[in-house]
Structure 1
Amino acid sequence: METTHGVLAVDVGGGTQDVLCWFQGQLLENAIKMILPSPTVLVARRLDGLRREGRDVVLVGKTMGGGPSGRAVQRHLQAGLKVYALPDAARTLHDDLDRVRDMGVRIVDEPPAGVPQVVLQDLDVDRLGKALGLFDIPLPGSIAVAVQDHGFSPAESNRLFRFRYWQDFLASGGDLKTLATTPPPAYMTRMRAVRETAPGALVLDTGTAAILGALMDSRGARWNEEGLTVVNVGNFHTVVALVRRGRVLAIYEHHTGRLTPEKLAAHLDALRRKELTAREVFEDNGHGCAYGAGGLEGAFHRLLVTGPRRRQLFEDPGLFAAPFGDMMLSGCFGLLQAAAWAGGFQLERE
């Protein structure tokens, strides 16, 4: 497919995949925007359709995000139907393939003949390209993607393993530009799978993309010098970062469904005082929290909130980040900023 100068930014969440298609020289407000069902939701719908038809299935493709698709696999098995899977696709369900077999999934090296295939992948460039092509819009030459990756941890809690990624980031200095433009580590198998699907793509964690996008809000850009707190309330996970001058000084991650406005407010207050502990968050079924070196001097009472579940935990719409007027695409604007850094071009600021 023909490509041209620009960026296709795809922020893959648990409920939606948010898409921004921007071409150099175009006003950011005029970029093409789409909010689509997430790949894992699409996989779940296909599995459910085949279950209703009474069909066995084979999972092929890449390691991708789970959630809805994993629950659809369980429904398939509970209906007495067979689920086969190639190894890479099976690791969507668990990194330990023996655990996947224990679920009832049959791991195979080749797809069984005549069994409907369900393709697992976080990024479908062909489908997105066709959608754009219906409106005579070419596919941009650069692709930037955000996914949430727990990392390859067959024998350890994936919550602890994933949070080590944030701890290593803070230990290295917490510089967002460096994190956004550095290829993900090899143990981040979901990110690696995206890069296999789209070689050369820039791949970020969804939390990183959301933080960068919030900083593109006019208030985020203004407050960055003295510090602020950024909260991304995703469909499944909530990530909090204390940011000053483009560096993260503290980070927190929890499951959105486990939080209430009161609990999150208490956690934020303790985080800013450097009194919240990783154990406290983990034992509450969250991921944890971590701090960089030194103190937390800064105006972290300033708060910007983004993410599709933001209204679940915050009532004041004045807190909501809206880079270039759009509250749903913070992650995509963060991806675009990362692509600009990596590609050496400038973006307009609000």
Structure 2
Amino acid sequence: MADSVEPRRSTRKAKPIQREPIPESVPTKRKAKADADPAEQLRFMLQNPKSRLTKMDISDLINGNSWNLLSPDSQSRLAALLPPTAFRSFKPTLGLDHPAAGDSMQVDSHDASTLDPSLFTDAHFLAAAHTFQDHLFSDWLSDTHAEKVEKYTKGIQDGSLAAPWKDEVWERDNPPLEEQAAASQHLAGEASELKLGDLAKNSVLREGDVLVYKRNFANVNVLVEKDVIIQRIDSRSHSLTVLAQPGAQRNLPADLLMPGPPEPSPPIRIMTITSPTQLETGLLDIDGRVDKAKRPNGNAWKALTVWRWAGDDMGMLQGQRGGREAQGTLFYLRACLYQDR
């Protein structure tokens, strides 16, 4: 029987397995957040539209309890900003311009200890606090808005900017429509039965009066302004003969605005009219900047203003339109005549 062959075992000692040491994990340190600048926090709170002050009831912050938490020094500094009526020590006195007032001037005392606690619930104080919140929310307290206001103020002062009149802005943004004209006609009521000749017959219009036409045509971005003077009123038909400058010229020559003006000579335009609409059409034709197809319906009675010398005094002839003063629109004067009938 053959000897069985078995694997021979090595007599060498096994080399120990070297294991690399596992490095201990070093805990990472989170970078500490830099402390916010208190001045920047205050600026954000008082100027930024996203401030928490815009979303809270301001009475929860400004009230009698919060006032009592302030230091005496802080109370004194804030008390100096309040009116005398906010203190219990206030006593009404006569103004210095009153004949019975004394010669000595009373100096208002702002003692914080005499502050009337009802101030914080006063309607005027709360209205001012809510207005502050509105301005803060509207970004009116930011540095950017302050720069815009300063730039605008300087422009107004040096003449490089001009603020439009609110009436002109309204006329620009709200051009007259047919419906508005119809509504105006309805509101005029029975006064609309009076014609231009009735105004002349009752001396509401007189020879020498200046009629000032002004209308903004927003659809073509044109503002038409033109002065005409009533040269003559026919005694039978009460039609008006008026004089106007040619083209887009607005002001009349100075000699036509004086008492006893000379006879008109070219290029002065002469028109005979019997209604405000007829006068408006003639003036727009003379001006020539607004085509007939682009003239929306409107109330010519409201576009014409009467200027006249005050009473019989014609001494001040150097003012606007020969010293005349505005009497009102034809629409207004017609309503007054109707009421006086």
Structure whose CA Rg is larger = 2
TM-score (ref. length: structure 2):
0.24
From the two aligned structures, give the one with the greater strand fraction. 1
Structure 1-normalised TM-score? Answer: 0.24
Whose RCO is larger (CA < 8 A, sep 6+)? 1
